[in-house]
Amino acid sequence: MEKTNKTAQLLLALTPLVVLMLLLWFNVGYVFGDDALSGSNQVILMLSAFVAAAIGIANGTKVEAVFEKIKNNVHDTTQAIFILILIGGLAGTWLIGGIVPAMIYYGLDLINVQFFLPTAVIISALVSLSTGSSWSTTATVGIALMGIGQTIGLNPAIVAGAVISGAYFGDKLSPLSDTTNLAPAMAGTDLFTHIRYMLYTTIPSLIISLILFTILGWSAGDAAMNDAEIATVQSLLKESFTITPWLFVVPVGVIVLIARKIDALVAISIGIFGGLVMALLFQGSLLESLGSGQFPMYEVAMRSVYGSIAISSDHPILSDLLSTSGMSGMLGTVWLILSAMAFGGAMEAAGFLATITSAIVSLARGTASLITSTLVACGVLNITASDQYLAIVVPGRMFKDVYRERGLAPENLSRTLEDSGTVTSVLVPWNTCGAYQSSVLGVATGEYFMYAFFNLISPLMTLVYAWVGIRIKRLND
């Protein structure tokens, strides 16, 4: 009877998730396609949240508890939402300030086309290691690398995969990263033991990723721009903007502020102000040409923060690159995050997340299956709870005692939490990380998914280590 009840509870817990996946599959695959994030996916997430809440209430969950959990989830993402909105303003002011065009201009001189992709991984990894934030990395050098990659004719999805791979490598290993501190805290080990133990799976994952991106770079080299075409693009950039190395003061300053643990909201706000200052100092004629009315420079500066800016160009690639939608362009992503938080909150309030993860724990018999179960639990929570922190915290709490009882050192758990919970979050379109990166880089999650090699290889590397029995530390070692 007890087994029958547990099966029934698991089926109920899975029902909202199955509804969500089926509706998204139909919505994206057969109706809206790439335009699904404009609103239809958000509606599906809210509908799935209603299904989860209705089933939970029918089984005794109080309505107040559902709303309270949703409210708490939204509260927990408040900073992420404000960062996302500010990033929209940052992109706009860095465009009219000439900062992003300058990055593209000088980047075309410095970066070899055939080795651009592995170079993008390394640059993103170094910045992320120094700042401890994949979000800040993609919002600064990531935007510039996307511009350079598109300018030389590379597939934006591949470039986004390279940027994300490097950004999440640094995010995983940096002592400044919140997830790198959270995972050992949940598992019961110290920070630097956790980082050292992660190196065993993280370094091979990065090496394999670099090899794959190098091969892709060679194959894409024939389709890339030649020197004459690159010179033409640089000439067009100089016609529209004043290009000077002084423009790099702003992005370097933002990276330094974040690396020194200044709050990201403060650092990005300073970046927006710096972009406006650079626009006034170096791009006055551009502001005058874009504006109208009595105060054209003020109008363009304000619009670059909140709205759409498009700088016309005879070059088709530059026409796409030299446009931004400011803060307003991020509102669709904010809506997606809020809808995802409603779904995750309803699932958690009804007890469905705990039921699903408990079922996964019960399948773990040996060491390899226990680590596999942890990876799966983190992935499921990234899909259902739509937040990477919950994907680390919930499995960390549930598996901590199990690992200890089986004689496994806590760093086994902390490494597994990061190898799945941290890196797979960006692969889920409605997860806060997936929604953010897709919006900032301008590439749909479904498009860059297959090229985020590091994020795909990391959990697989952990599985290989677990099933072969490599670097599995015991408490008595």
What are the residue boundaries of the structural domains of the chain, listed by start?
A: 2-77+331-468, 81-328
Contact 61, 247 (CB under 8 A): no
Three-state secondary-structure class, residue 309:
strand
pLDDT tier, 224 (very low <50, low <70, confident <90, very high otherwise): low
Partners of residue 442 on adjacent β-strands: none
- pLDDT beyond 70 at 316: no
Which pLDDT tens digit goes with each residue over 294-307?
888 999 999 999 99
**Residue 44: predicted pLDDT:** 92
CB-based contacts of 220, cutoff 8 Å, min separation 6 = 117, 153, 154, 155, 158
Residue 128 CB coordination number (10 Å): 29
**Residue 4: predicted pLDDT:** 66
**Residue 222: predicted pLDDT:** 56
Residue 113 CB coordination number (10 Å): 22
**H or E element in which residue 250 lies:** helix 249-259
Which pLDDT tens digit goes with each residue over 321-331?
788 888 998 89
Contact 142, 94 (CB under 8 A): no
- pLDDT beyond 80 at 200: yes
